[in-house]
Structure 1
Amino acid sequence: MENRLVSTPVISATGLWTPAQSISNAELVQSYNAWADNWNRENEAEIKSGLVEPKTHSSVEFIEKASGIKSRFVVDKAGVIDPDIMAPRIPERPNDQLSILAEMAVLAARDALRAAGRDPKDIGAVICAASNMQRAYPAMAIEVQQALGIEGFAFDMNVACSSATFGIQTAADFVRAGHAKSVLMVNPEICSGHLNFTDRDSHFIFGDVATAVLVEAEHIAPRAHWKILGTKLKTQFSNNIRNNFGFLNRAAPDGVGTPDKLFVQEGRKVFREVVPMVADMIGDHMNELGLTGASLRRMWLHQANANMNRLISAKVLGRDATEDDSPTVLDTYANTSSAGSIIAFHKNSSDFKPGEKGLICSFGAGYSAGTVFVEKTA
């Protein structure tokens, strides 16, 4: 039997790639309201007869009150804000070209590798952990592996919005077991592709982005890194957040008319059920690690809804959280699914001093939730 020394996993670096195009709430509302007016005109007879309800307008005030979102980055702005399309239009690439999801992941990965001073040849495994995979196979992770010139192994995994924290624990387990000294975990998300932009209650929720996390054995990590104090995962089945699109079905050509093949949710139910579940999970994990709310310098929570994060933070800290306690990127990035908590960590962790502790936490469809407690070193 091969003898492997147990290695302590740490986070060496993170990376971020952001699309160049952004859509403000005002732009999104203008396009939605124009679409709604067109739909009402086309269905005027049915509306007057009472067979269907008219589409009501959205508003900037409604979006910000419901979510805290003010804008979002997207890979294709023109298609989303065109009232005749209301969906991103992303040309398919031939099989001999790098796919767009892999391209995004590679850009985020290179950012993380630069930060860690790491050569791709040093990486032993790649995990692509995301909600929105553009195909079933070959795995995007293997495509990323090839594009970067990484040896070893690679695979995709999907745990919806919790994919990144599940990916971090999986990467850490590989390091502990000696299967790889360095694991690249990437989260490319084109969330705009599964969003129904003609649904007033959710047309504003998502944005596009890619993040990367480099998990490595402590003895090869850069001097300044993040100790992984503990990870914890939880799942509980729920139909309240769902997307039925898959290889057994296909959406309508215009992306409209088959709403259950796009993102759908029972938002109020999700709010009522997920907030206590996540707060209790964080509390239980802190108890296991001997931590308290006062032990935490900062929490980098999943960026889905500002009101959810406010309540979860308050339950964990025992008081209202400040922006410094629980920073928000939701206002400019919107919900980016698996990448949200990683963006928050990436953009709001450089001010940490050695010994200070924080929490990366994600939660979403499944239901699923993951916690990763970290401590800054030198």
Structure 2
Amino acid sequence: MQDTITNEPSSQNSGEGVALIGRPVISATGLFTPTESITNEELVASFNEFVDCHNAENAEAIEAGDVEALTYSSVEFIEKASGIKARHVMTKEPILNPDIMAPRFEERSNDEQSMMCEIGVKAARQALERAGRDPKDVDAVLCAASNMERGYPAMAIEIQQALGIEGFGFDMNVACSSATFGIQTAADYVRAGNAKSVLVVSPEITSGHLNWRDRDSHFIFGDVATAVLVEDAARAPANHWEILSTKLKTVFSNNIRNNFGFLNRATPEGVGKADKLFVQEGRKVFKEVVPMVADMIIEEAKRLRMDPKTLRRLWLHQANAGMNRLISQRVLGHEANDDESPTVLDTYGNTSSAGSIIAFHLNSEDLDVGDTGLICSFGAGYSAGTVFVRKIA
């Protein structure tokens, strides 16, 4: 287990009396949303056609007990299990094709911009524009996402070059907590004076590592890209969010896993051994993660001398409506309404590390000056991250 805490909310000291140079804030966020979307109705029709074909082709083996018959999915099952009603994807047609049921992209040459870079840059440019910032003002780029489309060169360095940013960049992967871990890393650079402006970019093409033929998970993921501009308060725009604290926690678990990698790959069709794509023990995850995350939030709020019930809004990881409902209830002391804990899960699906950032991006401008809120992630690892923020000006 690893547990990391940084920065008292109004102190210029952290750790063993080390003087802090900068005070980190969130200056702006950006969001790229793919134009194509798949509804539950479309997804279920495609999946059930695949089930019919599979059961017909294996009728004799199923009758003999050698092959297990597949079961239909349904809109009701999906919405009860997750709260998801639709998800955006980079390419819709091959996913809905029962003969393919996986995204298909034209391979790009080394001289062309990669897909993750392309969508990451779009989200980053929006964040920079909203902050009134020129790319040359940024010191570093962190690409924080659950799955990179290649090992190297780092996606962050490609995004850095595409934006025209000097300085440095590197990739981070802590699955669904990548963005919050990236925010703490960026905030630490600011606190230490190693950077005054850092872009945390999370291009999540999660459709590529989902097994669309698995009834228990075929509905979960969607594609998106987000960006968070973390800066020193001294240079931030008038309207920004003070980062009161960040806290990270990891506890090893196999209950969410993906064994795909250059040493152990799935088949070209993406339907090899099931564990080469996303797999999870959903009930175990629910039972173990909910109390872990809720306790983590409450403990950090107490460390900040803050009553967690006074948090104006929770921007939680968008993985499962039931998990968010229970976590917010434990934190706030009552079942949260849509204003207290907004959801984007119904239209975006689970977008891994981008989920809580989307919720913050789309549901934060209406808060009043002085309001406090929480950006929180949790997922494979297990990993969890909290970012307590206060609205300024």
Q: Which of the five TM-score ranges fits, normalised by the shorter chain?
A: over 0.9
Task: Determine if the alignment matches structure 1 residue 150 to structure 2 residue 150.
Answer: no
Q: Does 1:294 align with 2:309?
A: yes
Equivalent in 299, 312, 333 of residue 327 of structure 2: 312
**One-letter identity of the residue aligned with 1:110:** R
Alignment match, 1:65:
80
Please name the residue that 1:138 is paired with.
153
- For 1:252, which of 240, 249, 267 is the aligned residue? 267
- Structure 1's consecutive aligned runs of 4 or more residues displaced over 6 angstroms after TM superposition are none
Q: Is the 8 A contact 2:342 2:359 kept in 1?
A: yes
The C-alpha deviation readout for 1:73-132, integer Å capped at 9, x for no partner, is 000100100000000001110000100001010000001000000000000000000001
- Which residue matches 1:199? 214
- Find the counterpart in structure 2 of residue 126 from structure 1: 141
Q: Distance in 2 between matches of 1:92 and 1:131?
A: 21
Aligned residue in 2 for 1:366: 381
Contact 2:309 2:333 in 1 (8 A): no
Residue 293 (structure 1) shift: 2.4
Partners in 1 of 2:307 and 2:261 — Cα distance? 42
Pick aligned residue for 1:221 from 230, 233, 236: 236
Paired residues of 2:89 and 2:223 also in contact (CA < 8 A): yes
| One-letter code aligned to 1:154 | G
Q: Could you say what secondary structure the match of 2:312 adopts?
A: strand
Q: Offset of 1:294 from its aligned partner?
A: 2.8
Cα offset, 1:292, TM superposition? 1.4
CA RMSD of aligned residues (A): 0.8
Give the partner amino acid of 2:144. A
- Segments of structure 2 that go 5 or more residues without pairing to the other structure are 1-18
Number of the residue aligned with 2:55: 40
**Corresponding position: 1:343 with 2:358:** yes
Secondary structure in structure 1 of the residue aligned to 2:48 = helix
Structure 1, gaps ≥5 residues long: none
Inter-partner Cα distance in structure 2 for 1:298 and 1:122: 31
Q: TM-score of the superposition, structure 2-length normalised?
A: 0.95
Residues 183-194 of structure 1 aligned to structure 2 (within 5 Å) = 183-194=198-209
244-253 or 12-21, which deviates more: 244-253
Of residues 230-239 and 42-51 in structure 1, the stretch that sits farther from structure 2 once superposed is: 42-51
Query: Could you tell me which residue of structure 1 aligns to residue 284 of structure 2?
Result: 269
Structure 1 Cα separation of the partners of residues 382 and 296 of structure 2: 13
Q: Give the TM-score normalised by the residue count of structure 1.
A: 0.98
- Among the aligned pairs, what percent are the same residue? 71
Letter in 2 for 1:265: Q
Task: Name the residue aligned to 1:180.
Answer: 195
Q: Deviations over 1:120-160 (max 9, x none)?
A: 00000000000010001000000000000000000000000
Measured against aligned partners, the alpha-carbon deviations of 1:240-273 in whole angstroms (never above 9, x if no partner) come to 0000001102211111132111000000000000
Aligned-partner SS, 1:161: helix
1:161-202 CA-partner distances (Å, limit 9, x unpaired):
000100000000001111111000000000000000000000
- Aligned counterparts, 1:13-28, within 5 A: 13-28=28-43
